[in-house]
Structures are given as structure tokens and as C-alpha cells.
Structure 1
């Protein structure tokens, strides 16, 4: 029996290469609009070996375009209108505020009037 993860990797890489060729023909504006999709596709392509079990890979291989399905799911999960994403973002900002000293390497706006605590 062929390793399903390797087979999935091969299928996804081929799908990625086809999409990549399409992206090369897009305008700058279109590329910016598709940046989340492109980033998600690259993430999937680069993390197949560490992310799937044999059974999960076999399941995804049932689909004609498994990369598209995974990218769609990632972009929905990370969409700004997703309440969980909003909560995570808010928590991240609160943590940054609580740990201000960790960000002391970043240049401050000269006229901000705010001092690092």
C-alpha cells in the first residue's frame, strides 16, 4: 500500500503548482486580494508531512482538489469576521499591552507621548 501522506503531498504540490502558474498571471491588485489564499496554500503545501495521519490523507485524496478544500477551511477560520479570530486578536493585543517591555526593541513614535512601563 502506497504511503497516503506522500501521495497527498504529491497531489497537493501539483495542485499548488497549477495555482502558482495562475497567480503569476494576476495583477498586483488581484495578488493582494488573494494574499490570504496564497499564504494558506503555501502553509498547507509546506506542512503536509507533519499535519496528517494516513487515514486523514486517504480521506482528503477522495477529493479532486484537496488543497482548495484545506485553503478554504483555513481562510474561513482566520477570517476577520470570525468571532474566535476577533477574540484571539483582542487577547493578543491585551497580552502585548501587559508585556510592554518585550516590545521595547520597536521604535516609538516620537510624538506619541507614551512611555514604556
Structure 2
């Protein structure tokens, strides 16, 4: 869970971005001081350095719903090749499941209560 210091710095950075100001340690400190919040002194500088070369607008608009991360070998969404390449892999999985079900059918007359 985020601490009050982290949340204060995050919100200060968002306020600065919203007002089209450069995110700097001094400005974050000024906003936190104006809000009468006590934070550990390293947080504003940490946030300012971390966000110095980041396009915050793209961070805001690219936030999506939580969920599993995409596969490491997944190609970009605009590339049409993955759909054709993924189809054989899916067929193999289906075939494997069918083969497993055949094996399990052979063992049907053997059970723990026989």
C-alpha cells in the first residue's frame, strides 16, 4: 500500500503536469508544504528525478485494466503475422488434449473402488 508521502508526491506531480509546469523537486515540495503534509525529505527529489524524462500524458492515457501481463513473445498489436502464427500453436494444444482424453478413456474400467 502506498504511503502518504508517495501519494502526496504522485498527486503533486499530476497537479504540476495538469498545469503544464515542469516537475521539479522544489515545486513538489511547495505543493506538499501548501497542503500541510509531512513527507520524508527524499520523496520529492525521487519523484522529480524519476519523472524528469517521462511523458506523463502517455502514462495517464495508457493505463488499462489490471490483468495478466502479455506473453513475452507476443508481437505488437498492429502486426498481422501473429494471428496466423498463433493458429498452429492453438491446434497443437487441442490435439494434445484430444490425445490425453483417449488415454484416459482406456483407463476407465480401473478406479479406486474396483
TM-score (norm 2): 0.26
TM-score (norm 1): 0.26
Larger fraction in helix: 1
Higher relative contact order (CA 8 A, sep 6+): 1
Larger radius of gyration: 2
